């Protein structure tokens, strides 16, 4: 069967593939500690009651027809108020575009900016930049981010590549690492972008920044979130933000996302999406428009939500620190944000109790799943080297009572290696 070049060359999601293996094990009755999915168990992390009630009420009021293609005006007005109140960012409804989550917005931005062969700069590990670049025929410019920089790109690493690039993809807080970009590093990147755009002539494409801040409301301790436009107002002309209620309000299935940036880019993105039909549902839009203006309800929800997520991240962090102190080949980064913990499990070259050599990281991943029941996502699923010993651990479905038992089984599995 001969299909399109895109269909023949597109790589499927490694997370989805791993998820299928996990579901089969669970179906067979195995106990799996599943830390793979970037989602929430609604029994543990329900959406805000005010939002839930608003959605139900909107359906009862028969808001079941098509919404406005660019997003209902009342929702875009509420988002504008929300941005001003929460981030001190001033954007008009004409500069805001609503869709069914962040994915169609990112895809339409790529389609708006990228012609075949245009250079797209992104660091790895990072979520789906490699796939979006491939989908749009862009040229991959991949920056290998390092643990010593919290797996975030630096201006020095980007500098050799900006001269002919069209899009720079940044995400903070970062999926998959749960780390954030510092004010100093983001400022240096902004200066680099502004210098490059000042150099470019009339009629030449500018260098734009995709700034995915889906997790910005989920930071912990003293960690602060920064964005390009607040640091450098001149970046407003070149920055397109992606955000949603998906992560900050555990509302991944509610499908309300928004982009904001230059009005002309929003207009072109909307034209593309109008042919795809990826509008956010009418009732959910109506409910979200009301919810985003409920400051106290939002504050109350985020206080409890952040505390519950942070507790899981810190307990898991402490557990891996303890294993490291006992001499096992593991490591962990301190949790900063989002629902993710970055862990390192470096077992390549060790032998199992029955003498089987773990030849590569894929075999390490399988060993963790089969021997410890621990399911985590390797950074290779996010574009990093297949030899990378680093993993994403997601706590959105984590039960606190499972954590001690998970570490007991993991320690037993590690003790069997030599």
The C-alpha atoms of residue 374 and residue 259 are separated, in whole angstroms, by 36
- Residue 233 near residue 192 (C-beta atoms within 8 A): no
Q: Which string of b and e fits 1-36 if b means at least 16 CB within 10 Å? A: eeeeeeeeeeeeeebeebbeebeebeeeeeebbbbb
Listed by start position, the domains of the chain span 5-45+299-415, 49-294
CATH class of domain segment(s) 5-45+299-415: alpha beta
Cis peptide before 29 (omega within 30 of 0): no
Beta bridge partners of 141: 121
Q: What share of the chain is helix, strand, coil (3-state, %, to 5)?
A: 45, 15, 40
Distance between CA atoms of 308 and 268, rounded to whole angstroms? 40
- The pLDDT of residue 18 is 78
Phi and psi, residue 80, nearest 5°: -60, -45
Helix 295-325 to helix 402-415 angle (10° resolution) is 30
Q: How far is CA 336 from the centre of its chain?
A: 14
CA distance 136 to 108: 10
Residue-level pLDDT at 180: 97
Burial (CB < 10 A; 0-12, 13-18, 19+), residue 324, is middle
What top-level class would CATH report for the domain 49-294? alpha beta
> Which residue, chain included where needed, has tokens 């510092």?
182
142, two tokens: 């991949």
Helix or strand holding residue 310 (H, E):
helix 295-325
Kindly state the tokens that stand for 52: 């839930």
**Interstrand relation of 165-171 and 208-212 (parallel, antiparallel or unpaired):** parallel
Own/partner long-range contacts of 92-97 (Cβ < 8 Å, ≥24 apart):
92/263, 94/263, 94/266, 95/260, 95/261, 95/262, 95/263, 95/266, 96/71, 96/258, 96/259, 96/260, 96/266, 97/70, 97/71, 97/258, 97/259, 97/260, 97/266, 97/269, 97/270, 97/273
> What is the residue whose two structure tokens read 């773990």?
358
pLDDT in tens, the chain (418 residues): 789 988 888 887 777 777 778 888 888 989 999 999 899 999 999 999 999 999 999 999 999 999 999 999 999 999 999 999 999 999 999 999 999 999 999 999 999 999 999 999 999 999 999 999 999 999 999 999 999 999 999 999 999 999 999 999 999 999 999 999 999 999 999 999 999 999 998 889 999 999 999 999 999 999 999 999 999 999 999 999 999 999 999 999 999 999 999 999 999 999 999 999 999 999 999 999 999 999 999 999 999 999 999 999 999 999 999 999 999 999 999 999 999 999 999 999 999 988 899 999 999 999 999 999 999 999 999 999 999 999 999 999 999 999 999 999 999 999 999 8
Q: Which residue has the tokens 């880019």?
A: 265
């Amino acid at each position: 069967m001969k299909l399109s070049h895109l269909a023949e060359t597109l790589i499927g999601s490694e997370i989805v593939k791993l998820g299928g293996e996990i579901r089969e094990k669970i179906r067979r009755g195995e106990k799996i500690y599943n830390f793979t999915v970037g989602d929430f168990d609604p029994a543990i992390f329900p959406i805000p009651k005010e939002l839930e009630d608003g959605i139900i009420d909107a359906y009862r009021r028969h808001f079941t027809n098509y919404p406005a293609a660019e997003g209902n005006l009342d929702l875009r007005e509420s988002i504008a108020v929300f941005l001003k109140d929460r981030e001190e960012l001033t954007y008009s409804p004409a500069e805001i575009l609503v869709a069914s989550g962040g994915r169609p917005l990112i895809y339409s931005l790529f389609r708006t900016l990228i012609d075949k062969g245009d250079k797209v700069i992104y660091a790895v590990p990072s979520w789906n930049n490699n796939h979006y670049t491939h989908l749009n025929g862009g040229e991959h410019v991949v920056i290998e981010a390092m643990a010593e920089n919290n797996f975030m790109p630096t201006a020095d690493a980007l500098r050799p590549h900006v001269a002919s690039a069209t899009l720079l993809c940044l995400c903070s807080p970062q999926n998959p690492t749960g780390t954030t970009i510092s004010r100093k590093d983001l400022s240096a990147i902004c200066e680099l972008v502004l210098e490059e755009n000042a150099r470019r002539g009339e009629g030449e494409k500018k260098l734009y920044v995709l700034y995915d801040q889906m997790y910005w409301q989920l930071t912990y301790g003293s960690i602060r979130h920064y964005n390009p436009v607040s640091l450098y107002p001149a970046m407003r002309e070149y920055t397109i933000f992606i955000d949603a209620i998906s992560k900050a309000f555990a509302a991944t299935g509610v499908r309300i996302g928004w982009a904001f940036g230059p009005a002309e880019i929003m207009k072109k993105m909307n034209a593309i999406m109008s042919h795809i039909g990826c509008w956010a549902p009418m009732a959910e839009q109506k409910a979200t428009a009301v919810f985003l203006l409920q400051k106290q309800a939002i504050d109350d929800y985020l206080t409890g939500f952040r505390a519950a997520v942070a507790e899981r991240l810190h307990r898991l962090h402490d557990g891996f620190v303890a294993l490291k102190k006992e001499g096992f080949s593991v490591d962990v980064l301190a949790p900063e944000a989002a629902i993710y913990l970055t862990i390192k499990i470096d077992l390549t070259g060790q032998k199992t109790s029955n003498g089987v050599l773990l030849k590569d990281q894929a075999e390490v991943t399988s060993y963790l799943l089969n021997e410890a029941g621990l399911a985590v996502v390797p950074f290779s699923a996010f574009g990093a080297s297949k030899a990378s010993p680093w993993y994403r651990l997601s706590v959105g479905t984590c039960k606190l009572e499972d954590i001690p038992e998970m570490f007991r089984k993991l320690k037993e599995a590690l003790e069997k290696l030599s």
